[in-house]
Structure 1
Amino acid sequence: MSVEIALRAARVRYGPLEALHGLDLPVPAGAVTVLLGRNGSGRTTALRALAGTVRLASGRVVWHGADVTRLHAHDRARRGLCFVPDLRAVYATLTVAENLDLATGDRRAEALEAYPELAPFLARPAGTLSGGERRMLALSRAVASPARVVLVDEPALGMSPEVSSRTYRLLAALAEEGGAAVVLAEQRLPPGLPPGTLAHELRRGSLAFSGEAAELR
């Protein structure tokens, strides 16, 4: 598998604390990669470093062979990177319809096909939705996107088991059918991921395991 995007010797500091300790993280195209770890392990910081929402203290972000370390997050988004954080992933004061149109453009129908539960709430402010409904709204940006890189922090947060399973199928399809590099940050390995899913376990900002997810099961 070809590497789509990667962290090279990446270090991230929050004040005096170092969250990533020279992390090397290759992310292949056409596959799902899961970053595992407890809170404080560095998995969310690794996603943010790839997305450009935190700056590297040292090291590089390489995308398709080009150094994009200094490229701002909005420029990475324009190039085809979709980042769905775990918090503040929707505009609470805008309606569901307005959120969908901002996130998906003319692909609203595809988003609602993925999450038909959102259809009755189109006129409601997103801030009035339940946690699981807000998560569906946030994920609609990823599943209806033609992005080359899709980064999602805790995709199924607050979702019912049925919607959670559907969400992982949708994300897997982005990789298997769309050829995207899909990276998920999780506290534990979710069920139902496709064969060949890669897993990296982080502990205190360093890699503790790298391999296929099946090895962890």
Structure 2
Amino acid sequence: MSVEIALRAARVRYGPLEALHGLDLPVPAATVTVLVGRNGSGRTTALRALAGTVPLTSGRVLWRGADVTRLHSHARARRGLCFVPDLRAVYATLTVAENLDLTPGAAPGAAPTAKERALAAYPELVRLLARPAGTLSGGERRMLALARALLTPARVVLVDEPALGMSPAVAARTYGLLAALARPGGAAVVLAEQRPPPGLPPGTLLHELRRGSLAFSGEAAERAPA
């Protein structure tokens, strides 16, 4: 199993507080990886470190063996990294349609009608196309953010709490869509969650973080229920 992207001995500080304590986190290609832990465990910081939105105090970020630690987040995005944070994941002042139109892969002529495929994934957004994204409910914003991620051709997809605010049915659909991105030859998908979500595909990898360090690593089926 080849490693797509990884944190090596990663440390991140927020002022006097260290959020990651020398974390080693390999992310295999074409696999779903789930980071679980309570608030303050470091799971969100780990995603941000991979995305380049927070700098490492020490350690490295390796992408297919290349050191990208000093590569800015926008440069990582151009290389094929898509990051969906838990907050501010959409352009609030733009309409739903404009948010989708600005997404890489949604340009006119994109095959086959990428925007239509995103709306097929979340048909709830069709009636909201003219609405400013800032007026949507929390679950509707998450659908829009995930629809944008589905439009983006990516080698690495990082999503912080993908089903936040969604109904159980929409959440189940969302996990299915994310799992489909990690098909053979597809993207490395990393999700940050408070607890393992239901319906994970076979072979899903699970890392439990506690206070910025790994407490468990293995396949999701191997972890005993909390």
- Paired residue for 1:127? 134
Which string of whole-angstrom CA distances, capped at 9 and with x for unpartnered residues, describes residues 61-85 of structure 1? 0001100000000000000000000
Q: Which of 178, 193, 201 is equivalent to 1:194?
A: 201
1:146 partnered with 2:174: no
Instruction: Give 3-state SS (helix, strand or coil) of 2:198's partner.
Output: coil
Q: Cα distance 1:178–1:144, how it changes in 2: closer, same or farther (>3 A)?
A: farther
User: Larger deviation: 124-133 or 44-53?
Assistant: 124-133
Query: After TM superposition, what 4+ stretches of structure 1 lie above 3 angstroms from structure 2?
Result: none
1:52 partnered with 2:35: no
Q: Structure 1: how far apart are the matches of 2:150 and 2:177?
A: 6
TM-score (norm 2): 0.94
Q: How does 1:20-169 map to 2 (within 5 A)?
A: 20-104=20-104, 105-106=106-107, 107-169=114-176
Contact 2:99 2:148 (C-alpha < 8 Å) held by counterparts: no
Q: Structure 2: how far apart are the matches of 1:200 and 1:103?
A: 30
TM-score (norm 1): 0.98
Which string of whole-angstrom CA distances, capped at 9 and with x for unpartnered residues, describes residues 33-62 of structure 1? 000000000000000000000000000000
Structure 2: give runs of 5+ residues left out of the alignment. 108-113
- Deviation, structure 1 residue 156: 0.2
Structure 1: give runs of 5+ residues left out of the alignment. none
Q: Structure 2: how far apart are the matches of 1:103 and 1:59?
A: 32
Q: Structure 2: how far apart are the matches of 1:211 and 1:103?
A: 34
- Deviation, structure 1 residue 178: 5.0
Q: Structure 2: how far apart are the matches of 1:109 and 1:32?
A: 25
Q: Structure 1: how far apart are the matches of 2:18 and 2:141?
A: 31
Q: Structure 1: how far apart are the matches of 2:131 and 2:158?
A: 27
- Structure richer in helix, relative to its length: 1
Which string of whole-angstrom CA distances, capped at 9 and with x for unpartnered residues, describes residues 109-164 of structure 1? 12111111101111110011111100000011222222000000000000011110
How many residue pairs match? The answer is: 217
